[in-house]
A and B are shown apart, each in its own frame.
Chain A
Amino acid sequence: MKIYGVAVLSACFIAGQLIGEALGIFFHFDGNIGGVGFGMLLLIVLGDWIKKKKWLDTESESGIHFWSGMYIPVVIAMSSTQNVKAALSGGWVALVVGVFATLLCFSLIPLLSRLQQRTDPSL
């Protein structure tokens, strides 16, 4: 049943959020630290394990796949609800800082990925 898959996804999501909140309290930071990341790690590990044990059939798994298919639509809805006007009205400082700092980060990607390849034990 599809709801089984959705329930597994929800369990991972909530557990991840709880870990993130707990970390936030621990570090005296008003917010959630990596809750989504922990949720993803849980789903990767749990999903793998459940597949091996064959606890979820394809039908149940499709409940999770539906939500990953909804991902792009959610992002479209999100981008249409951003405060774009404020971003453009921030003036030159906002534009210059935003553009330069971002481009610099982009330019570091090939550098770090070369570093990663060099340390890759499988190569």
Chain B
Amino acid sequence: MDFVLKLFAKNELIVAFLVVGLIMLVSVFISQKLLRNKIPGAAVAITLGLVLAYFGGKKGIADIPLFAGLAFFGGSMMRDFSIVSTAMGASLSEIKKTGWVGVISLFIGIAVAFFVGGSIGYFMGYTDIKSVATIGAGACTFIVGPVTGAALGASSDIIAISIAIGVIKTVIVTILTPLIAKRIGLNNPQTAMIYGGLMGTTSGVAAGLAATDPKLVPYGALTATFYTGLACLLCPSVYYFILSFFI
């Protein structure tokens, strides 16, 4: 048995290809036979991935040596590279059509997440301004939370909560997007760009759109990728300053 495990560890990325292929196979089967195509196979597979992650640790299932390759396969380098590749075939005129509303959606999306998230935190007992700001920033993405918390000097348990908020947001966006896409009119490039700007979590947006309609991925991802950077700039500075008038 030992030599088998050693072989798997040595070829971890290849093992990851095989594992994801198998997850996809099972998911497509579940989607077609059990859910009668109501939820797309990709959405089932992504949800299944999250369920599997629960059985792992900090790095999800990749904490189990057999599945270590998944951390590289699903890491930021591969994610960003494959997201950029989806831009091939995206139409410049569709992007221009969205215009300034796409930019506005970014500012509104960050403001709503920050101030609404912070207010809820405030009413749940986290009343000092640093905690409120960090919790609000966590409602942007799980990167903005810790960046803002570190910049303001918030305590580590608050930072942990802000990461949790961001991860929960990613999970909700991933699962909910394909389910409510029809109701919110998410079936064209323009709405996809607005959606990306409002939600901001690149992984959630991209995964949600992939499960809804893969053609929309580049449009949503394009605005979403500006969200985290912009939010990291705004939350600890301008938005924190505005917050200081209220607390």
- A: residues with CB less than 8 A from B are 9-10, 12-13, 16-17, 20, 23-24, 27, 29-37, 39-41, 43-45, 47-48, 61, 64-65, 67-68, 70-106, 108-110, 112-113, 115-117, 119-120, 122
Contacts and interface: CB of A to CB of B under 8 A. Distances in A.
Interface in B68-120: 70-71, 73-75, 78-92, 95, 97-101, 104-105, 108-109, 112-113, 116-117, 120
Interface string B37-77: 00000100111111011101111111000010011011100
A100 B120 contact: yes
The dominant DSSP class at the B interface is helix
B83 A86 contact: no
A121 B81 CA distance: 34
Interface of B: 16-17, 20-21, 23-24, 42, 45-50, 52-54, 56-62, 67, 70-71, 73-75, 78-92, 95, 97-101, 104-105, 108-109, 112-113, 116-117, 120-121, 124-126, 135, 138-139, 147, 160-161, 163-174, 176, 180, 184-186, 190-191, 194-195, 198-199, 202-203, 206-207, 210, 214, 217-218, 221-223, 225-226, 229-230, 232-233
B229 to A, nearest CB: 3
Contact of A94 (B67, B161, B230): B161
Contacts, number: 326
Given A37-B226, A106-B184, 20 more contacts: A30-B147, A33-B233, A44-B91, A64-B88, A73-B17, A78-B49, A78-B203, A81-B56, A81-B71, A85-B53, A88-B54, A96-B124, A97-B124, A98-B164, A98-B166, A101-B112, A106-B198, A108-B198, A109-B191, A113-B194
Nearest to A10: B81
The dominant DSSP class at the A interface is helix
Nearest to B41: A72
Contacts of A32: 229
Nearest to A117: B190
